[in-house]
Structure 1
Amino acid sequence: MFKLATAFVAATALLVTTTAGAQTRPDQVAFRALYKELVETNTTASVGDCTLAAQKMAAHLKAAGFPDKDLTIFFTPELPKNGGLVAVYPGTDPKAKAILLLAHIDVVEAKREDWTRDPFTLVEEGGYFYGRGAADDKAQASIWVDTLVRYKTEGFHPRRTIKMALTCGEEGGAPFNGASWLVQNKRDLIDAEFALNEGAGGQLDDHGKRIAHTIEAGEKTSQSFTLEVTNPGGHSSRPVPDNAIYRLADALEKIRGYEFPVMINDANGAYLSKMSKVVGGEQGAAMTALVANPKDAKADALLSKDPGLHTMLRTTCVATMLSAGHAQNALPQRATANINCRIFPGVSRDAVRDKLVEIIADPQVSVSKTAVAGPRGEAPAPPLTPQVMGPIEKVSAEMWPGIPVVPILQAGATDGKALTAGGIPTYGVQGLFYEPDLGRIHGLNERIGVTSLYEGRDFLYKLVKIYADQP
C-alpha cells in the first residue's frame, strides 16, 4: 500500500506547484506528504501523542526497507504518549564511530482560537508553510526521516553508521525528556562521535536577502534560583522598617544593576570575528575589539545595545516571577522571586549562585537553586574542528556562494545540551533560513518558507553523506 501511494505521488508530482509558482520536484512532493503527516500529528504536552508521531515516522522507514531490529520505539510505562524513535542505518566500517541526527517532535501549545489558521493543519500559503511545529522542530525531524528513506532507496552504503533520534519533551510542559532519558538509559543505542541538531539557521534580512549561515557551537545552561525573605509579619497599621517585600526589592535592584563579565569562547569569538566583516562600521570594529580584549568596556557597551549580542557575550540573570504577602491588611511574612539565569558554557550553577549571594550581600535573603529539568551537568561548548566545520562550509558554499558560515553561541536551550553533557558533542546545523521574526517560533502563526524548507532538506542530505563517508 505504501509503495502504491508513493508511486502515485511521484507520477503526479510534475503537476504540483508551490504557491510561488515554482515547479516541485517529485522527491519534494513525497517529502511534503511526510512533513504534513508529522505536523498534523498533535504532539503538545497537554493532549498530544509523541509516541504516535514516532510510530508514524518508523512506518515510513520500515516501508523504505529498514528492518525492525534497526527501529526502536521507546517510552516509559507511566508516560506512554511521551515516546520517541531511534533508527540505525548501519555503516560498512565497524571501527568508524557513528554520527547521530537529533530532532524533537514535541511542540509548544497552540490554541485554535488564537491562530489565523488551524495550527494542526499544514497550510501552504504565500510561499510559506504554516502550522505549529512547521519550523520548530518538525522541519528538521521530517528532513532526517526523509534523508534516511532517500539513502535506503538509492542503496547508499555509508562508511559510518548513521543514527537518528526523534525525542519528546524538549519544549517543556512534560515530565519526560527523551534526549536525557536516552543518555541516561540507552547510551549505547545513540553513541556517536558527534550529533547534528537544531539551534541555528540561516539569517535573512527584512527583504529576504541571505546574510549569514549560522551554526550553533555551544549553548547556555538554563537555571532558575529562588530568592526568599521571611518575616514575622504583623498588622499593616503598625509598619516596621524590616519588611519582607522591601528587602526582596532591594535584592532585586542589586541584581538588576549587575552585569556578568564578557566571556569569549570558540563559538561567540568566531561569530564576532566573522560578522565584523559582514556588518562593518562602528559595530564591526567593536566586534573585532572585544575579541581582542574582552574587557573593552566601550566595545561591550556598544554591542550590548543589541539584546541578542548582549546575551551571547555573558551569563545573564533576570527576575521573571514574584510572590509576596498573604493578606491586604497584613505585613508580609514571606516574599519570593524567581531569577532565571542563562549561564555561559563551562560556568557552574554553583558559581552563579555564589555570585548572586555576593551581589545581594544580605544574609536574610536566601538564594536556592530550583529543580533542574534535563541534564544537571554543565556542558562545555563542543570543539569547532575542521572535521565538523569543513563539510558544512563546503556544502554551504556550493548552495549559497558568498554567504559566510558563522558559529554562534545559543542563548536558548535545546536537547543538544543533554547529549553534549553525556559525551556526544552536538552542533546546531539546519540549513534553514529565517526572516528576523525567526519563523514566529513558539508564537502565533508559526511558519517557514517553502523554498527554505526544500533547500534545507537538500543541504542536510548532502552534508550527512559527507560526514557518513569521512575516514
Structure 2
Amino acid sequence: MSQSAEPGPAVRGEDEVVDLCRDLIRIDTSNYGDHSGPGERTAAEYVAEKLAEVGLEPQIFESHPGRASTVARIEGEDPSRPALLIHGHTDVVPANASDWTYDPFSGEIADGCLWGRGAVDMKDMDAMTLAVVRDRLRSGRKPPRDIVLAFMADEEAGGTYGARYLVDNHPDLFEGVSEAIGEVGGFSFTVSEDVRLYLVETAQKGINWMRLTVEGTAGHGSMTNRDNAITELSEAVARLGRHEFPVRLTKSVRGFLDELGDALGVELDPEDMDTTLAKLGGIARIIGATLRNTAAPTMLGAGYKVNVIPGQATAHIDGRFLPGYEEEFLADLDRVLGPRVKRESLHADKALETSFDGALVEAMQTALRAEDPIARAVPYCLSGGTDAKSFDDLGIRCFGFAPLKLPPELDFAGMFHGVDERVPVDGLKFGVRVLDRFIDAC
C-alpha cells in the first residue's frame, strides 16, 4: 500500500488523541442488537479518512447496509516477520441521556475526564491507535513488522456484521498475522505506592445466550391449575439465579492471584475468595466473575391476558463458562433447571486462553515500565467476550492490551456499559505513549 504522503506538521500522537476520541464519541454508533447499525458507516468513513490522511489505503467493508468496518495494513521494516493485528470496534451499547451527568454523545471534558458512551468501551483504544499510527506515519517511523489495523462493527452484539463477517469472508486481510491486541486489558490497578498492576487479558469466558421454555396446560385464570407453565419456569429460573457454581481456578486466574498475592505480600487462599475480592475494590466485579461459571436470568415472557393461564412461558439466560469448563457448565445447568425446562442456545461462542509469555508480553511489560516505573503486567481472565473469539479461528494469539493508567478511586469496572462512562484525559495520553513504545518493542 502507498505510504508516500508528505509528512504533516509535527503533531505528537498524545496531542491529538483527545480530539480523535471526542470525534468518535460524537458519532452515535449505538448497537441495538438488530440489523440496524446507526452511525457505524459514518464511523468507518471517519477512521478511513484519518488513515488516508497519513498515506494508508484503508478499505471499508459493509456486511449489511450501514454495518461497516475499516481495515488497513501498515508495511513494517521486516515484512517477512509475522504481522501484528491491532483491533477495535466502533459500535457502543445504547445510552439514555436523561440518566447521564453529561449527554453521552457530547464528548464533554470535565473533572479531568472525557465523558461519553464508548469512552472506555472502546473508542478510547480506537483513538489511541489512530493517534499512534498517524504520528508514526507522519514522522516516517515504520513499525518493526507489518501491522494490520481493524476497526469493526457489531462487537457489542456478537460481531456477526463485523469481525465474524471479515474472518469468514475476507480472511486474506489477516494473512501472516500471528498475534493481536484488543480491548479490555492493560488497565491499571494500584496496589500500593510501590506496585501498580496492569491487567493483560490472556483469557475470556465462553458465551451461551439461551432461551428456556416450559410447556404447561392453558386454562382460565379463575380455576385451579397444577400445570402452570409460569409457576414451573419461575421456580426453575429462581433456582438458577440463586445457584452458585463451584470455584474453578483457570491458568490465567491462578496467575493473577499469584501476582496479586506477591504484590500484597500475602498468600491468598483459593478457598476464601470473598476475602481476596474484598482487597480489589472496583475490579472485584471483573475478577469475581472469572472464578466460576455464571448464568444470569435476564428476560421473562409469558401470557397475553390477565385471566388466561398461558400454555407456555419463556426466559432468557446469559450464560458464561470458563475455559475448559463448558461441559460441566451445561451439565450443571440441566441439573439445576430440572427435566421440565427445555434449553435452547441462541448465541454461543467459545472460551479462550493463552499463556502469559513470549516476546509480545515482554514488549508490553517494557513499554509499561518505561512510562510507569512501578508497573507490573499480570495476566487475567475477562468475564465477557470480545472480537478475539473470531480472530482465534484464524490461529491468531489474542491479548487484551489497551493501556490506561487510572486513578485508584475510579470505578473502572463500572464504566463498561454503565452510566457516566468516562476516561481520564491523562490516561488517554499515557496509552498513546505506551502503545508507541510497545510497537517499537514488538
What is the TM-score normalised by the length of structure 2? 0.87
More helix by share: 1
Pairwise CA distance, 1:440: 2.6
Structure 2: where are the runs of 5+ without partners?
279-283
Distance 1:317 1:158, change over 3 A: same
Aligned to 1:59: 49
Could you tell which deviates more after superposition, 160-169 or 56-65?
56-65
Distance 1:308 1:438 in 2: 7
CA contact (8 A) 2:29 2:90 kept: yes
**8 A contact 2:207–2:350 mirrored in 1:** no
1:445 corresponds to 2:420: yes
Q: One-letter code of the match for 1:237?
A: S
For residue 98 of structure 1, report the CA deviation from its aligned partner. Answer: 0.4
The letter of the residue matching 2:303 is G
Tell me, in whole angstroms, the C-alpha distance in 2 between the residues paired with 1:188 and 1:337.
Answer: 40
Larger deviation, residues 187-196 vs 394-403? 394-403
Report the counterpart of residue 72 of structure 1 in structure 2: 59
Residues 315 and 343 of structure 1 are in contact (CA less than 8 Å); yes or no, is this contact kept in structure 2?
yes
For structure 1, the 5+ residue unaligned runs are 11-24, 291-297
| Correspondence for 2:205 | 220
**Where does residue 293 of structure 1 map in the other structure?**
none
Tell me which of 363, 386, 391 is aligned to 1:391.
363
What is the CA-CA distance between 1:307 and the residue it aligns to?
4.5
Deviation track 1:396-437 (CA, whole Å, cap 9, x = no partner) reads 222212232221100022212221244212111011134224
CA distance in 1, matches of 2:276, 2:421: 29
Q: Is the 8 A contact 1:205 1:436 kept in 2?
A: no
Contact 2:144/2:439 (8 A) holds in 1: no
1:459 pairs with one of 426, 434, 438: 434
Deviation at 1:140, TM superposition (A): 0.7
Of 327, 330, 333, the residue aligned with 1:356 is 333
Please list the CA deviations of residues 205-234 of structure 1 after superposition, one character each: whole Å capped at 9, or x if unmatched: 699997421111111122122222111222
Shift of 1:444: 2.6
RMSD: 2.9
Specify the SS of the correspondent of 1:312: coil
Residue 50 in structure 1 maps to residue 40 in structure 2 = yes
Q: Equivalents in 1 of 2:379, 2:234: separation in Å?
A: 39
CA contact (8 A) 2:287 2:381 kept: no
Within-5 A mapping of 1:61-460: 61-66=51-56, 68=57, 71-76=58-63, 79-172=64-157, 176-191=160-175, 192-204=177-189, 211-280=196-265, 284-285=266-267, 287=268, 289-290=269-270, 298-300=271-273, 302-303=275-276, 307-348=285-326, 352-362=329-339, 364-370=340-346, 372=347, 377-434=349-406, 435-438=410-413, 440-460=415-435
Hey, what's the Cα distance between the residues in 2 that align with 1:244 and 1:5?
A: 68
Corresponding letter in the other structure for 2:371: M
- Displacement of 1:351 after TM fit? 5.3
Note if contact 2:73-2:148 (Cα within 8 Å) is conserved in structure 1: yes
SS state of the match for residue 402, structure 2?
coil
Q: How many pairs were matched up?
A: 425
Q: Which amino acid aligns with 1:337?
A: A
Separation in structure 1 between the aligned mates of residue 323 and residue 298 of structure 2, nearest angstrom? 22
- In 1, distance between residues paired with 2:77 and 2:188? 37
Structure 1 CA distance for aligned equivalents of residues 21 and 275 of structure 2: 42
* Alpha-carbon distance in 1 for matches of 2:275, 2:191: 23
Inter-CA distance 304–359: structure 2 relative to 1 (3 Å threshold): farther
1:33 partnered with 2:19? yes
Change (3 A) 1:51 1:360: closer
Q: Which amino acid aligns with 1:245?
A: I
Q: Give the Cα–Cα distance (whole angstroms) in 2 for the partners of residues 65 and 307 of structure 1.
A: 43
Larger Rg: 1
State the 1:250 CA deviation: 3.2
SS class of match (2:66): strand
Superposition deviation, residue 91 in structure 1: 2.3
Q: Secondary structure at the match of 1:36?
A: helix
* Residue identity in the other structure for 2:330: R
3-state SS of 2:365 partner: helix
**Residue 33 and residue 367 in structure 1: after superposition, are their counterparts in 2 closer, same or farther (change >3 A)?**
closer
**What do residues 37-70 of structure 1 show as CA deviations (whole Å, max 9, x unaligned)?**
222222223673222222222222222122x3xx
Distance 1:110 1:186, change over 3 A: same
Which amino acid is the alignment partner of residue 233 of structure 2?
L
What percentage of residue pairs aligned between the two structures are identical? 27
Contact 1:44 1:108 (8 Å CA) reproduced:
yes
Call closer, same or farther: CA 1:148–1:4 in 2, change over 3 Å: closer
The one-letter amino acid of 1:259's match is E
Instruction: Name the TM-score, length of structure 1 as normaliser.
Output: 0.82
Maintained 8 Å contact 2:298/2:317 = yes
Query: Residues 27 and 423 (structure 1 numbering): CA distance in 2 closer, same or farther, change over 3 Å?
Result: closer
> How many angstroms apart in 1 are the aligned matches of 2:37 and 2:213?
35
